[in-house]
């Protein structure tokens, strides 16, 4: 065999070997990805009370006789934010059992009204009066 032919065979063998190694790596490469966790944003339903529930909440809280808030310098209405220095009270358990929808709220009394406040946003969600 001539030296040229031997070199050509060796070059062809080296090329074939290199191709097979590359192919082998391509075949064994596995790419995995963790599933993407999708978070669902839960929005709170607006507080909706029936007339009977409103009356029950108002009467029960008035019986508790929580200290009324000082005469407000702002008018508290639904959607108003309550200042951080205003003391809010937990809803009495007896009311929360009868009207579970208000369990998570706090309240204050202002001008013979019961004002329900969302403690996470400090926003007034309901006003109750006799």
To the question of pTM greater than 0.75 for the whole model, the response is: no
User: Cα–Cα distance between 124 and 80 in angstroms, integer?
Assistant: 5
Domain ranges of the chain: 1-32, 51-129
pLDDT-derived band at 94 (thresholds 50, 70, 90) equals: confident
For 9-39, the pLDDT digits (tens) are 766 666 766 665 555 445 666 666 666 565 5
CA-nearest of 120, 118, 123, 82 to 102 is 118
Residue 101 has what DSSP assignment? G
SS3 106: strand
- At the second CATH level, the architecture of 51-129 is Roll (3.10)
User: Cα–Cα distance between 130 and 62 in angstroms, integer?
Assistant: 10
For 101-130, the pLDDT digits (tens) are 888 999 888 877 888 999 999 999 988 887
User: Cα–Cα distance between 27 and 25 in angstroms, integer?
Assistant: 5
User: Cα–Cα distance between 3 and 116 in angstroms, integer?
Assistant: 98
């Amino acid at each position: 065999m001539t030296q040229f032919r031997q070199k050509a065979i060796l070059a062809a063998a080296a090329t074939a070997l290199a191709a097979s190694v590359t192919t082998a790596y391509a075949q064994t490469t596995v790419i995995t990805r963790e599933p993407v966790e999708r978070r669902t944003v839960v929005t709170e339903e607006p507080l909706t009370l029936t007339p009977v529930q409103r009356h029950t909440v108002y009467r029960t809280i008035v019986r508790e006789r929580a200290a009324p808030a000082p005469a407000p310098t702002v008018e508290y209405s639904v959607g108003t934010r309550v200042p951080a220095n205003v003391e809010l009270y937990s809803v009495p358990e007896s009311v929360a059992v009868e009207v579970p929808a208000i369990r998570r709220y706090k309240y204050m009394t202002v001008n013979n009204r019961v004002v329900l406040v969302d403690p996470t946003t400090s926003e007034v969600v309901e006003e109750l009066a006799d």
